[in-house]
Structure 1
Amino acid sequence: MIESLKLANVATYDNDGIVINNLKEINFFYGANGCGKTTASNYLSDTSLEKYHNCSITWRNNQPLSTLVYNKEFRDKNFSSSDIAGVFTLGEATTEQLAEIKFKKSEQEEFEKQLTAYTKDHLSKTTEQDTLSTEFTDKCWSLFKKYEVDFKEAFKGFQKKDLFKSKIIRLHTENENLNDTCDYDTLKNRSLTILGEKPQLYNLLINIEFEEIDVTESNSIWKEIITGKHDVDIAGLIESLSCQDWVNHGRRYINSSKTCPFCQKDTIDDEFKFKIEQFFDKSYELKIKTIKNLAFDYHQQSSQILRILKSTLQQEKENINSKLDADELGLTLTILESQISTNLMAINNKLEKPSEKVELTSTKKTLEVIINLFHKANSQIIDHNKIVTNYELERELFIKDTWLFLTAEFKDEVSFFIRKHKGVSKAAEALKYKIHECKIKIESKKAEITILSRNTTSVQPAVNEINRTLKAYGFINFEILPSERLENHYVIKRQNGDLAFESLSEGEVTFITFLYFVQLANGAAKQDDITQNRVVVIDDPISSLDSNVLYIVSAIVKGMISSVKTGSSIKQILLFTHNIYFHKEASFQNGRSNGCNKTHFWIIRKSNNRTSLNFHEQKNPINSAYELMWKELKDRRHRSGISTPNIMRRILENYFKILGKLSDEDIVTKFERNEEQKICLSLLHWINDGSHCIPDDLFIQTIDDQIEVYLRVFKNIFIKSGHESHYVMMMAGDELYEGEHQNLNEADQIYSNVVVGS
């Protein structure tokens, strides 16, 4: 059945909406028109509509039942044409078949009870699981708080409750022996060193390669005298004049002219050109090319080395953690720059005068000094990085030891939690399996019942029952008959055979549709659904009905309610109405309208176009005027005592005079002794006087004292008249007088001493 219902963001239900909890087998909802009753019944009729997407429904054991709703939509849907769909019942089943179906149904209901019990136990176990987890999580978190300041760094990544708890459980599981762990003082001392500011790894300085520049500087060509060919006849003159480089420089100007670049006369002929070219042969040109290549390489090599060194020097000057002797590097770099500058000048001279020897300064030792500076710095960086690496290892070891220390301190609590949680989880799993088994058995029984009832159902018994009810309550102008056009359908006909569908009054349509609904609630529109458990929702079934029919419908509804309590396919009823009289009639069961543990009451109200709900549990909020008078009498201490005599008079008149046809004299004569009759008569005089005037201040005794005296006399009127049970029933809940039995002698004494004596 339905356990709870939420209605929100639809019609008069706002975004917060209302939640109806504590639904019982029988549920009464009273509210004026327009307060949201029909919205609720429409939602229960079809929960899948998009407009109800913020509404929800919770079923017991998560097992939805078929829901049958009687409201205006039901009437419009089922009586929109002259042919009405038939209702299948078990009317043609034999006694043995009905007994077997009933037995199977009882088995199904027994499994459903087991399912409810298992589901409740499973919920209890899962709740216990959650409680255990929550309590243990809080305990773990208290451990975290205890050592948070001391070992904060060790807790990084586990500063949430669930993560911290999971870590403790995992370490407890992975480490069987937790006896040999560090103590707190040792860990505290280690934390002071290890959990300080974390050192960073440093990058090594770049390696300087100087082999190539050293090879260039030490090349023998720099000291070689590069001359032309000696066996040429002009070689002697050139060598004797030592003008080889001058001639070599000037020969570029004689290639296209006969004018001598030296004497500026036309003395240059082809023979002279030939001899000059012979002197400066290919061997000479090759050596000159070698010098040029070496000069280019040296320029590139030296520029790269200087660029790297200057960049490194600048970076290390800005690096506060530098291990390099920047001052020494700066001085050495200045020397290196000077040496390279000198060498570049010598190389340029060699290019200008290949015949002269030049000597390059070796930068090898200077570069070795720089390289040693780099090696020394890199050695320190390597040592530092080793420390950093070891620091990480030490830090990891410290964190590991810290967690083991925490786990060891908490091992008893963890062991208890794991053992307890394991037991509860095992029980929950077992119940989950039982729930699954029960569901299978229930479905199996449903299938068996469907097969048994399939060949024993008919629409005719429903027709007969509706006609019988119509005639019993005076509706003799029409009746329900099988349709001639459609199989398993009805039509409504007058006595003369005419179809009565179009000529029925609104009240007649309402009544006959309700009778049809009742048959449908006890049967089904499909043969296979006839024994299916269901929830019945009834929304204002007495709309447009005469007052006399109201009691007929009330009687039918009370019959349905009774069947729910005693056991039937209807497992739950939700009744919505705006009619006070119908509510009172339908809710009055077995001589009472309050206190049934299978019944709950609600009042639905609308204010400012917003629906609200008041829950009254088992106490019926709708009372008759007579009941309200008794309620006023019980609540006398919270109201003015002046109205009490009027209430007592009206109760006695209603109960004894109007209903019992007794006069004041008849009431007085119920008392045997003369003293008793006097006391009773004084009460009648007192309440009559108090009902029509207000006591003045001449009374010595307060009116509240008189009320307490006469209430006892009032009670004794019911006792002496043989109606004590009625008094006890109507005064139920009164603190002073419920269950109190005082005899008339006590009332005599109180009256004589207080009233007569005064």
Structure 2
Amino acid sequence: MELRLKNITSYSKEQTTKIDLRKKINIIYGQNGAGKSTISNFFYNMSDASFKECECTFIQHYRPFVYNAKFIEENFFNTAEQKGVFTLSKENADIEKEIAEKESEKQSLTKQYLEKKAYLDNLVENENKAEIKCIDAVWSKTENIRASSLKSLMKGSLGSKKSFFEKLKPSQRLPGIDLNSLIQEYDELLRHNNIESPTITLPIKDFLLPSEHDLLATPIIDLSNSYLSDNIKELNNLDWVKTGKELYLREKTCPFCQEKTISDDFTKAIESIFDESYNKKTNQIKIIKNKLSKEMEDNLQLVELELTQCLILTDDEKNKSLTYIKVLHKILSANISLLNDKINNPSISITLNFDNESYNNIFEDIVKYNIKINDINAKSKTFKRSENIIQGKIWAGAKDFCHIDFDDLNKSSLKNKSLIEIARKDLDLIIKKGKDNNNRISELRTNVSNIDLTIDSINNRLKNLGIDNFSIKKHLSSEDKYVISRADNTSTEGVYRSLSEGEKTLITFLYFIEYCKGKTDKLDYDNRESLIVIDDPISSLSQNYIYDIASMIHFEVLETPQPKKIIILTHNLYFFHELVKLAPRSRNDKIFKRDYSLGRISKNTHSTFEEIEKSSLKNEYQSLWQLLKDAQDGKINKIIIPNIMRNILEYYFAFVHKTDALQAELIKLAKDENNQSFRAFYRFINRGSHSDAVNISDMGDISPQKYIDQLKKIFIMTGDEKHYIKMMEIDEPDEEDEVATA
């Protein structure tokens, strides 16, 4: 348990002051104004807006009972009557026994409840952790999808990891969906929305007739009856004759001898060799060449152009198909070259080449491409429908992609769900038993509870303390309330205000002690462990009761099994000492170290807290010297230095019966013209504990060390310098050091 204070009264706005409250008994000392009341006020009303930056861990397990100025104001100062404290009547022994049993059962059920609740919370936490792990894994795995064009189809589900997970979790898993392909498909759909892409023309493989292939493979020879035919066939030089006829025969002149030896008969004989049949065949060969060079070439160029311009195909698809086109171009060029040879030499036999593998590859590719193009065109025509189909595939594909993570989560959830269901049933049963038990305790308490025992207890304590001039009694018209009554006056009006400060302290504190034991409402079912906070029960006007109240706290609060946690705050060092003195003693202070925690609150610029050891405790006179040293070191505000010095002088010189000597030396110093700075200090001493603006102004002009020097001078002049040196813990030089220094 830890109290954390920040930005409240004198506590720092920037840093949190932490007070460890793990031990059962916590006794904290501090001067008035140091910040003690802030602690009690926090526990008195933790919902106050001024404490919004303060907290106490595990406070929900405790029920605070706070004795401070607010408690007194609410229950005594502002009201003439007090709520009755209901306790059990001693006459009902059997019922008390049953109540005790029920209270014991209640504690057992509370323990069972806390254990089962912690177990259930742990199961739920494990389930939450498993879900968070799955959420993170799914979010990480689907980063590529969420960053793609598909994100526009997932609107409303990408706001957070959780919302995306909640959308994906109930989706049906559909194996076989390639999410990357789906991204590409949607990109294509967006790119071609309302745009129809043309299909690609299929390449021509071979459009020659079989007879044309036969013609190319058959030599064209002389079939005439010319007298030259036999010689030409014998020499196998028909192509040579044909070339000579076309290139060299001009009228009557021989190309070799240049004589006019070419007769009409020779010309006719030559012409008859290349008859109509021969010319028809050679013309057919020329037509075949034109078909190849024109139609097939145009076809390949068209296919190449359409492939290049197609926006649907990828670069890889285009490059692959264009490679096949290049091969077909080369083959076409080779075939045209063969045809040229055939035309020039009709008697040769040729066979055109065709690359079936390349053709089949390009043909298959284009068929596949056209299917893809037609599919996209169809989708583009029905864009919204196509988009919806893709949108449906996203979640099914993503669920399949992340199915291992969801499978792991489902396995974990099934196991946890079963355990959680059992734990909740057990917890409900414990709660029901607890309610039944509380109802029975309430029923029993209603039958036997009364406020009479509290009245008797408080009045008996007052008598034991020697106080018989006032007491408490039941309210005349409301039997569940108290009033304070004087023995010599029947009126109960204003009795509390007429009491001395010491008497007020006693009656309020006795009432508080009883208040912690019982309840002011029969229907109060808050049975949490008690946290008792007692803030400064000893004021400057109730010193006579220091030992009585300390004893009461020790035996009625600290020594009892209840409460489980106590915080006591005080500015009175005697009271602080008395509480520590009453603490149980054991070998090596084992019990004290286990149960007790001691602390001190001090204030300079801000209130601070520090733990202190039992061995560091001093009496009030020693503490004044400690405060003086703290002020000298800047740990607390220097404004309190003159008042501390006044108290030191009064304590010491009264104890050693040298008050007259002190006054004489003070007057002497005040009249000393060479010691002007002493006069502000002297005003403080003569005015007691009251200060004014002049003193404060003087204090602001004088450093702490100057005041300390004045104090030392007083002890020197009264012959008590050794006492000053001892209390200020100044190392005295030995005789040898003094001689060496001299």
TM-score if structure 2 supplies the norm length? 0.49
